[in-house]
Structure 1
Amino acid sequence: MTTPVVLITGALTGIGRATATTFAAAGAHIVVSGRHEEAGLALAEELRKLGGEAEFIRADVRHDDDLKSLVDGTVERFGRLDIAVNNAGTEGEFSAITDLTPETYAATFDTNVLGTLLSMKHELLAMRAQGSGAIVNVSSVFGERGYPNGALYVASKHAVIGLTRSAALEAAAFGVRVNAVGPGPVQTEMLDRFIGRSDETKSSFVATVPLGRAGDPDEIAEAIAFLSSDHAGFMTGQTVFLDGGLTAA
């Protein structure tokens, strides 16, 4: 069986890092990407110790040339691209719609939406050439519901689901599947920035989750691994919400 080649953007922390670790432990060849070279090189070394081949390629998902170099570099290093996980994202600025500006809009959408679009553009070109592949985009529970003072983040994560559905329909013709995950609150640095670091604030927020807790990054990583695998071979264009029951309410 051919060892899968996996590319992960936004891989240096949180869900991206957990996903890289999950694939490395399974023996995959991995390219991790992010904007911080020192952290990226250290992560690649950690992944090699888990048994997989791993490389770091620096890229900023807001820039088309960076993403072309990232995908080209992955294919040059490993010969193909089987799985791409588009996890790079930002929570942006949370404030009332009446306080938003074109600049705050761009700061969120350039990473979350343009970054996902450009990532898929180059990933799909590589996968189309080989006639196979699987892409998993990372949306959010807020790709399904609203949140006061969070219009930019909410809208950007709705957009990721729209991009996923459209890309899935285009890619089906050449044997590539495109799905997404929609995490709820997951214990990461982004969650701490989002709700603050106060134990009281965090407890109140987590209490809104029907399962009564925040998720673990490894739980999201396992779902991403499933969606990327042959076990999900008949799934495309779908978003799997891992939110402790929030979207069921």
Structure 2
Amino acid sequence: MASKLQLEGGIALVTGAAAGIGKETVLAFAEADVEGIVLADLNDASAVIEESKKFAKNENFRAIAVQLDVSDENAVRAMVDTAVNEFGRIDYCVHCAGMGNISGATTEHLKIDVFDKTVAVNIRGTMLVVSTVSKAMAAQEPRTCQNPSARNPTATRDLGRGSIVTIASVNAFVPAPGMMPYTSSKHAVIGITKTAALDNIKNHIRVNAVCPSWTDTPMMQASLQRVPQLGHIIQKLSPLGRAASPDEVADYIMFLCSPSATYINGSCLMIDAGLTLTAHGAASL
């Protein structure tokens, strides 16, 4: 964890908070001086709460955990209600919950049940979280903060009513063989993000996506167990010869939530060390 951006307080909601990018985002939020965090995950995230307290900069810092399936409409609504009831508002929502490519079957052998499950978690889950959080944010008062630039310290920045960040993938732009369920779902995440960004302009809510390539998370480790040659592929194709670390992704998420990004909306930030710049990388990802 390396993020040093400060967020002037505020309340964060992070899904997929128990591990990987979600966990690192929680720790980065704590370090960035937020007042409170709601950690949402299918699994128990209480251990991450204890770890986040070690990095918390805000003296009033508090965190709670909620267990849910993000594809369950009632559960998502209850999660957002819990956040608002406990903390009064949601200033930052980072939707990290999702599933990776668990089959590898090519088109002619596609497993329909895997496709349906991926759609439910990655597409329906993203839609439910973004829609429900947007409604909650639209009902709260906007915030301002002191201009983060020392060049104009007397000015203020309009933070609006909130910032939402979704986790897409380079696969939202570049396909790979045997990954139709995952690739299709990440294309949809971009569509949800851009539409929500447009719809939320009137509400002064920013919605952006980050699009990482391979990131060293438990999800990637599971893929390495299933496809041992993946490690060699990453070393060969990544311009840096390695996967991203979760904190490298979390740093970009913090930027999109910060006062430094108040003019950024509907963007899809690629985090791939330049992998998708080359035809070779695009064809081989």
Deviation of the 1:205 alpha carbon = 2.4
Q: Larger deviation: 2-11 or 69-78?
A: 2-11
Assess if the C-alpha contact under 8 Å between 1:34 and 1:58 holds in 2: yes
Number of residue pairs matched? 247
Corresponding residue number in structure 2 for 1:196 = 225
1:86 is matched with: 95
Instruction: Quote how far apart the aligned CAs of 1:45 are.
Output: 2.1
Deviation at 1:214, TM superposition (A): 1.1
Deviations 1:115-147 (A, max 9, x none): 000001110011110151000000011011000
Residue 7 of structure 1 corresponds to 13
Deviation at 1:201, TM superposition (A): 4.0
Structure 2: state its 5+ residue gaps: 1-6, 143-160, 279-285
Q: Is contact 2:234–2:243 with CA below 8 Å preserved after alignment?
A: no
CA distance in 1 between counterparts of 2:163 and 2:179 reads 30
Single out whichever of 76-85 and 190-199 deviates more from structure 2: 190-199
Match of 2:245 in 1: 216
**Is the alpha carbon distance of 1:201 and 1:105 closer, same or farther for their aligned partners in structure 2, counting shifts above 3 Å?**
closer
How far apart are the structure 2 equivalents of 1:213 and 1:24?
Answer: 27
Residue of structure 2 equivalent to 1:30: 37
1:29-61: CA deviation from partner (whole Å, max 9, x where unpaired): 111110123xx1221122123223211011110
Partner of 2:146: none
TM-score when normalising by structure 2: 0.83
Distance 2:84 2:227 in 1: 44
Q: Is the 8 A contact 1:196 1:202 kept in 2?
A: no
Q: Decide which of 37, 43, 46 is 1:41's aligned counterpart.
A: 46
Equivalent-residue separation in structure 2 for 1:120 and 1:2 (angstroms)? 23
Structure exhibiting the larger radius of gyration computed from Cα positions:
2
Q: CA deviation at 1:2?
A: 5.6
Q: Counterpart of 1:244?
A: 273
Amino acid corresponding to residue 35 of structure 1 in structure 2: L
2:93–2:165 CA contact under 8 A, matched in 1: yes
**RMSD of aligned C-alpha atoms?**
1.6
> Counterpart in 1 of 2:76?
67
Equivalent residue for 1:118? 128
